[in-house]
A and B are shown apart, each in its own frame.
Chain A
Amino acid sequence: MPKIKLAENTINQIKEICAQFDNQEGELINVLHQVQNKLGYLPAEVQEVIAKELKMSLAKVYGVVTFYSFFTMLPQGEHPISICMGTACYVRGAEQVLTEFKRQLNIEVGQTSPDGKFSLSSLRCVGACGLAPVVTVGEKVYGRVSPQQVSKIIAEYQQGCPSEAKSA
């Protein structure tokens, strides 16, 4: 079993999130969401803390983390890019969009670009099938994406986050 190597501060952050959900086993998915939001990913050591706080088995926590494609055990890029491969997006050309992202970023699904800026993942349905094919970058959703738009989307983030720029 790997030993906890997390900073005290990080452990406390995780414990706080668990406490917000009353350390309830049934809140596992919410806890995982919040922790991933804060830390960017869910490495083994983090899952150990969560399992302990929620008084559930580590295997069960790991089972949930590996079941949902949203959760990741690998550190994500500054701007995590996800391409929906659900049925609607797939039939409207999501695969070509994904191929274009892979080509331009020169990384595979599950990998992060060497400069740490982008990571690439595929997911199953974000519930916006009317906008298929859908790409998300961080929290931002892009609809009806074509392979031609890929370079534009990437460019938006190379100078910093556009949504932040707007709100400022």
Chain B
Amino acid sequence: MEMINLTIDNKSLVVKKGTTLLEAASSIGIDVPTLCHMHLHDMNIENKPGGCRVCVVEVKGRRNLAPACCTEVADGMEISTHSMRAVNARRTIVELILSDHPADCLICAKSGKCDLQNIAHHLGIREIHYQGEQSHYREDTSPAIIREIDKCILCRRCETMCNEVQTVGVLSTINRGFEAVVSPAFEMNLDHSSCTYCGQCVAVCPTAALTEVDETGAVIRALSDPTKTVIVQTAPAVRAALGEEFGMEAGSLVTGKMAAALRRLGFDHVFDTDFAADLTIMEEGTELLGRLNKYLAGDKEVKLPILTSCCPAWVKFFEHHFPGMKDIPSTARSPQQMFGAIAKTYLAEKMAVKREDLVVVSIMPCVAKKYESSRDEFAVDGNPDVDYALTTRELAQIINLANIDFKSLPDEEFDNPMGESTGASVIFGTTGGVIEAAVRTAYEVQTGKTLERLDFEELRGMEGLRKATIDFDGLPINIGIAHGLGNARKLLEEIKAGNSEFHAIEIMSCPGGCIGGGGQPYHHGDVEILKKRQKAIYAEDKNKSIRKSHENPYIKKLYDEFLGEPMSEKAHHLLHTEYFDRS
């Protein structure tokens, strides 16, 4: 490996050839400000179009300033990261960006979390010396994501996520010069495109050009309506990230405080999506074993591998890109939708509340859940099973609004019957978790034996594509795991070509799974935060007294009192769904 000698701010250093000036500076603790640049280490995702020029540094002997993010080191370079010339240029650049940016920071959805605002603050910009025309573009509202293009700084981060990571290919920069905008093909609105609403564009957008649809107002109105019974469910990944919104360390588990906060907000019952995740395992696991046993009995028509179906962005992805394979994923609805369907039937009856007077709110790490809850098939006579799906960030917003001091809340429990859950359901929040939960139940149902070891380390991790073979008492079950839709696409191509070795595949759209969902607190490109959230999820699983979905006593009761058995006609009607060709 060729090594390069250079100095940065008068400090000598030796780095590998091919290192960028930004990486070299960072290796000796010098932080060059960046704006468009984004590097998600470990996931091999880097966005460095060199477009914003905020990271320019002075190179001795070079005529112009060099963008540190995309200039490689060369022998003998003498770099100054904060010479008068570099700093002045940086300020000019940011002023120019601000000159074509709405100055509504005080009321902006991203205020306090905006990378552009941060950098303007960091550079001490108090005046914008440039005044000229501002670019304008129509606002685009979809069921989940809002595009407010006037706030776009053309950093291309969303484009990288949409094209390279997710291979969804909806967003691209179109037109040129002052007219350039990031847009779907033919400037169509998102809801006409093949956007999956995964929200990874929202997760990385430095400004408020891309945000989730804000439903906090509607939820607050429902909470203050005395004629409504308002219940809430919280997804597994939320408890491992919500604390960050209140300044807590990444990876803090706030399950109890979250339940307490929701109760103080006025929800009539505080339930848990984890309960529905256990229910998902009962249905999906039964479906898996059904298909597997048919296959083992010699039925060559049976569709294998079975694919998980909890992730709404993933569902929309295959409906658009692989419609010919829509009979391969499990027909099981996602936990959010199973919860809604059970709440508005079984629970409503138990509580003697009319369907239309029961409002189901879900707290999700996800932007696509807003879209999922709006799908026609998840409503009865126009009344949706889930009325509102808030992101983790939106929940934090209403907690703040209610003056709740989150950090000093006591730990409280969820309500029953739909608040009881197992360790298996908690791990739904991370890549590998759904399939591990399914294995814990499927193993015992299939073999009739008690599983000795519950931690399937071989299914865990952060690799984008993973595989493992689990021994079902002499029967080897091949399992595939993909997170990030680009990785999912690879497995789908294999299945299409007929070379898939797997019996079951878990797919989550967001890198890291739901812990890295588009609705989670912004991680600003720090993958360490995702790892900490993942650790928290597994810790919660370990702490649970029951760790297998089929042992959840309230799930057993639900089948006894209401559903009969997994895959029964009633279960089919309420807990399963169908998919559509959207190509």
Q: A interface vs B, CB < 8 Å?
A: 1-2, 44, 47, 56-63, 66-67
Contacts and interface: CB of A to CB of B under 8 A. Distances in A.
Contacts of A58: 169, 185
Contact of A66 (B171, B175, B188, B193): B175
B184 A59 contact: yes
19 contacts: A1-B194, A2-B186, A44-B186, A47-B185, A57-B169, A59-B170, A59-B172, A59-B174, A59-B184, A59-B185, A60-B169, A60-B172, A62-B172, A62-B174, A62-B185, A66-B174, A66-B175, A67-B175, A67-B176
B293 interface: no
Given A1-B192, A1-B194, A47-B185, 11 more contacts: A1-B188, A2-B186, A44-B185, A44-B186, A56-B169, A57-B163, A59-B184, A62-B174, A63-B172, A66-B175, A67-B176
A61 B192 CA distance: 17
B183 interface: yes
Contacts of A60: 163, 169, 172
Interface string B172-210: 111110000001111010001110000000000000000
Contact of A59 (B175, B183, B192): B183
Nearest to B163: A57
A63 B186 contact: no
Given A1-B188, A47-B185, A59 B171 contact: yes
B169 A63 contact: no
Contacts of A63: 172-174
A66 B176 contact: yes
Contacts, number: 43
Nearest to A57: B169
A62 B176 contact: no
Interface in B293-328: none
B169 A67 contact: no
Contacts of B170: 57, 59
A12 B441 CA distance: 52
B12 to A, nearest CB: 40
A61 B185 contact: yes
Interface of B: 163, 168-176, 183-186, 188, 192-194
A58 B169 CA distance: 7
A57 B172 contact: yes
A56 B188 CA distance: 18
A54 to B, nearest CB: 12
A59 B169 contact: yes
A60 B174 CA distance: 8
A33 to B, nearest CB: 18
A2 B170 CA distance: 15
A61 B174 CA distance: 9
A124 to B, nearest CB: 10
A52 to B, nearest CB: 11
Q: Which 7 A/B pairs are nearest by Cβ-Cβ distance? A: A57-B169, A59-B172, A63-B172, A62-B185, A58-B185, A59-B185, A66-B174
B169 A1 contact: no
A1 B320 CA distance: 11
A2 B183 CA distance: 16
B517 to A, nearest CB: 23
A125 B163 CA distance: 32
A159 to B, nearest CB: 38
Contacts of B174: 59, 62-63, 66-67
Nearest to A44: B186
A15 B169 CA distance: 21
Contacts of A62: 172, 174, 185-186
A98 to B, nearest CB: 19
Contacts of B173: 63
A93 B410 CA distance: 77
Contacts of A2: 186
Nearest to A58: B185
Contacts of A67: 174-176
A62 B163 CA distance: 14
Nearest to A67: B176
Q: Which among A56, A61, A66, A67 has the highest number of chain B CB atoms within 10 Å?
A: A66
A57 B184 CA distance: 10
Nearest to A63: B172
Nearest to A43: B186
A168 B168 CA distance: 52
Contacts of B175: 66-67
A44 B185 CA distance: 9
Nearest to B194: A1
A61 B184 CA distance: 11
Nearest to B186: A44
A62 to B, nearest CB: 4
Nearest to B177: A67
B168, B184, B186, B188: most-surrounded residue (chain A CB, <10 A) = B186
Contact of A1 (B171, B172, B193): B193
Contacts of A59: 163, 169-172, 174, 183-185
Nearest to B183: A59
Contacts of B194: 1
A62 B172 CA distance: 8
B139 to A, nearest CB: 19
B218 to A, nearest CB: 30
A60 B173 CA distance: 8
A159 B82 CA distance: 67
